[in-house]
Chains A and B, each alone.
Chain A
């Protein structure tokens, strides 16, 4: 157990639907990062939150949104799902906002859009 908890582990849903992925960071970590891993794109950075504030956006589609709550857990919302959104979605956490001491990754949520 890495200390970063992601739920659910697996999700199968139909095109056009909306899902919410949840991440609880490791205790004491203020930053949460979301990454998408697909066969064709590899590991892509989506978004970074630090202590409730959005710090950086990467290749995140407009159909996707995220937030970090006061208790520091984060949710990634994916809407109007397409087949191409099928991927592993990882959450990572770090102590500060620069990852100077490394990152801890969760075990991921595998999303399958059918």
Chain B
């Protein structure tokens, strides 16, 4: 399966701390994306990293991709209570995949305490 798997399943930190979430996948990919979902609400696209990229930044977010290890990490620096949400990685493309579809992991539930 191309489905990604996030680790940890749940993460609880204090405001101001950094949060790191990891994602592993099993086959080659074209790109990997991270999404955020507030409880029971829609998915918000955070960042997309292509298979030929190793690191991308967007504000307080830093994403890395290691295609040799088939893994990615999402770092949120100086976390805020408003960052509390579920974070999903999703892969697209690659061998054996269905064109255009996203393969989602089960997500990491991040709780940031004030």
A99 in contact (CB, < 8 A): yes
Number of A-B contacts defined by CB within 8 Å: 71
Of A97, A103, A104, which one neighbours B102 at CB under 8 angstroms? A103
Q: Which residue of the partner chain A has the closest CB to B43?
A: A105
Inter-chain contact A102/B45, CB cutoff 8 Å: yes
- Interface 1/0 per residue, A81-112 and B, CB below 8 Å: 00000001010101001111111111110100
B25 in contact (CB, < 8 A): no
Chain B residues packing against A (C-beta within 8 Å): 30-31, 33, 35, 40-45, 48, 88, 90, 92-93, 98-107
Pairs A-B, 8 closest by C-beta atoms: A107-B42, A43-B104, A105-B43, A56-B98, A45-B101, A102-B48, A42-B106, A99-B92
